[in-house]
Amino acid sequence: MDIDMDTQKLVEVTILRNAIDYNGSAKFDTVISKILGAKPEIKNNLKDVMPKIKEIMEQINSLPIERQRELLLQKCPTYLETKKAVEKNEFHLPPLLNAKHGKVVTRFPPEPNGYPHIGHAKAAVIDEEYAKMYAGKLILRFDDTNPLNEKLEYYDAIMEGLSWLNIVPDIIKNTSDDIHLLHFYGKKLINKGNAYICLCDQNTIHHLRSKGLPCQCRIDSDKVLENSDKIFNGYYHQNEAIIRFKGNMNSDNTAMRDPTLFRIIENTHPLLGDKIILWPTYDFAAPIEDSLDGVTHAFRTKEYELRNELYQQILKNLEMRIPEVLEFSRLEFEGLPVSKRKLKPLIEEKKVEGWSDPRLPTLMGMKRRGFTPEAIRRFVLSLGITLSETKPSIGVLEAFNRKIIDSISKRLLFVNDPVKITIKNVKQKEVVFKNHPSIEMGSRKIYVNNVVFISSQDAEKLKNGMEIRLIELYNIKVSYIDIEKKEGIVEYRDNILKENIPKIQWVSEEDLVKYMILKPTKLFIGDRFNHNSLEVIEGFAESFVTTLSTNTMVQFIRLGFCRIEDNKSAIFTHK
Ligand SMILES: [Zn+2]
């Protein structure tokens, strides 16, 4: 007998994995128990499937292990990566340099300029884990010194995201709270001759910077001191003057070629209103704030690497304490960019539903999709603080999530694109379904009269005269089937468990609701938005689904895990 494609793939992948674990030779008993664990319904026709499994196994065992690895990667590209991550069940970040128990202070410094995403989750989890590891403190500091981009809504969204991730900062503050201190240190730097007011236009600045030459403002900076008072007193308007660091215009590190420390922005700040117009850049605010806040270990993503020299030089010039600066790679998934430049247009053009669209890598989107905060934490820790720029596949996160939700998800029936099946010679019946195959989660009753619906994919395989089992119900024989009309007639046979007949899912006419599953797929293909990134699967589900509250996780048998959205729809999480 032939086995269906799904089963075939499961069998092949299971054997390949086992073969690789056992030096190229899969073990029959282990393979069988793994296959049955993954797909218990195979038990019903094991006698038929067994020879086929043996055949596939002999074929695979005869291959060299290198070839087995290649085949596994072809069939299941994320497998090896996933396995390493999930099996490494201890998640220890490497120890920190110069860290004393009880004295470590880390900080998570998001700019409130958008909704938090998986990249923020990585930074926040690492900052929090290190604070915990050394019984230290975590500071949440909103780096809000650019009123062009910042909104109250985003401060709230970040707080909400962190609370969902179960991250509780010891101190919450805003960089803007310290604006007068930042001005004070700015003046101090100018008075020490380490910074100056530049009145050049942007083109000139850009041009001289690329040539490695100083502008006249820098050359005259020791003579022209009154500009300093003017800029702090609000004499200049936006784009008329900036404060620049006196670095080295010849430096190979372009970040040291007199970078901007303060600029004038005449927009209303979400917390300070219109009182302040001279705003520090991140380059200036970050080292000062870290130093003042007592941060011992400051983590930054790798794109700031070139700016570390500036960070240290500013603090050195001001004779302030210098924290340890550490880097990690930023996190985003293949095909799922986190940059606002890419995501904002999708929202503005209404290509997605909003920041909580389940296709997005925002924390709100991931929550709505059915990812758990614990899975995100384990996933982040499994990546560690590596600097590698490779984008992990979302399959790895899914594997962590599956481990967590498998034991809390009720199993339900759903048929996609339903075909109506009338059963002759049958009495009404009541079937009891267990909510979970191996964990005690109660059960439910389903009434069946003489009509059930099956999915058209299953119906397509039926032929007149064929005997099949409606799972957990009874055996029937097909007398007529018409896929076009989406109908069929069958006859009741008996209720004897037979191993050699196909088993299919059904939903009773007495007990169904119209139901929709939204399935997110890749948001971008290459650089382009994928217009088919949200697949809509329509069909019938058991009415039991309407008793489940929003956010409940379920597994629709054969389809996958889903998060209940409301009593008409669910969102597909993953297989
Ligand atoms: Zn200048």
According to DSSP, the residues that pair with 451 across neighbouring strands are 422
- 280: CA distance to ligand 1 center in Å? 18
- 217: CA distance to ligand 1 center in Å? 4
- 227: CA distance to ligand 1 center in Å? 12
Q: Strand 451-455 vs strand 512-520: parallel, antiparallel, or unpaired?
A: unpaired
CATH code for position 543: 2.40.240.10
414: in domain? yes
Same domain, 213 and 268: yes
Which one is predicted more confidently, 16 or 313? 313
What is the total residue count of the chain? Answer: 575
- 302: CA distance to ligand 1 center in Å? 30
99: in domain? no
503-549 pLDDT, tens digit each: 999 999 999 999 999 999 989 998 899 999 999 999 999 999 999 99
Same domain, 188 and 272: yes
Same domain, 378 and 309: no
pLDDT band at 177 (very low <50, low <70, confident <90, very high): very high
Report the chain's mean pLDDT, rounded to a whole number: 92
398: in domain? yes
- 193: CA distance to ligand 1 center in Å? 15
- 284: CA distance to ligand 1 center in Å? 19
What are the tokens at 455? 């999915």
346: in domain? yes
Predicted confidence at residue 515, as pLDDT, reads 98
Predicted confidence at residue 392, as pLDDT, reads 83
* Residue that is written with structure tokens 């997605």 in the block: 352
- 307: CA distance to ligand 1 center in Å? 21
272-307 pLDDT, tens digit each: 999 999 999 999 999 999 999 999 999 998 888 899
Same domain, 380 and 447: no
DSSP 425-472: S---EEEEEESSSSS---EEEEEE-SEEEEEHHHHTT--TT-EEEETT
- 216: CA distance to ligand 1 center in Å? 6
Q: How far apart are CA 232 and CA 230, in angstroms?
A: 6
395: in domain? yes
Q: How far apart are CA 318 and CA 284, in angstroms?
A: 12
Predicted confidence at residue 500, as pLDDT, reads 87
463-492 pLDDT, tens digit each: 999 999 999 899 999 999 999 999 999 999
- 320: CA distance to ligand 1 center in Å? 27
Assess contact for 561 and 412: CB atoms under 8 A.
no
What are the tokens at 58? 């002999």
Q: Which of 276, 303, 328 is the last residue of a domain?
A: 328
Specify the DSSP element, H or E, that contains 149: none
- 205: CA distance to ligand 1 center in Å? 7
Q: Tell me how many domains the chain contains.
A: 4
Same domain, 471 and 369: no
- 258: CA distance to ligand 1 center in Å? 10
- 218: CA distance to ligand 1 center in Å? 6
- 252: CA distance to ligand 1 center in Å? 20
Same domain, 415 and 286: no
- 177: CA distance to ligand 1 center in Å? 30
Q: How far apart are CA 389 and CA 241, in angstroms?
A: 37
93: in domain? no
DSSP 273-292: BTS--EEE-HHHHHHHHHHH
333 contact partners, CB below 8 Å, separation of at least 6: 118, 361, 391, 392, 393, 394, 397
Same domain, 260 and 186: yes
- 248: CA distance to ligand 1 center in Å? 14
According to DSSP, the residues that pair with 434 across neighbouring strands are 443
Question: What's the Cα-to-Cα distance from 329 to each of 123, 278, 300, 338, 407, rounded to whole Å?
Answer: 10, 32, 9, 14, 33
30-80 pLDDT, tens digit each: 888 888 877 777 877 888 888 889 999 999 999 998 888 888 888 776 666
Q: How far apart are CA 413 and CA 125, in angstroms?
A: 37
Same domain, 243 and 123: yes
Burial 486-506 (b: 16+ CB within 10 A, else e): eebbbebbeeeeeeebbbbbb
96: in domain? no
- 223: CA distance to ligand 1 center in Å? 14
CATH code for position 235: 3.40.50.620
Q: How far apart are CA 116 and CA 331, in angstroms?
A: 13
Same domain, 344 and 323: no
Same domain, 402 and 414: no
385: in domain? yes
Domain region containing 394: 340-408
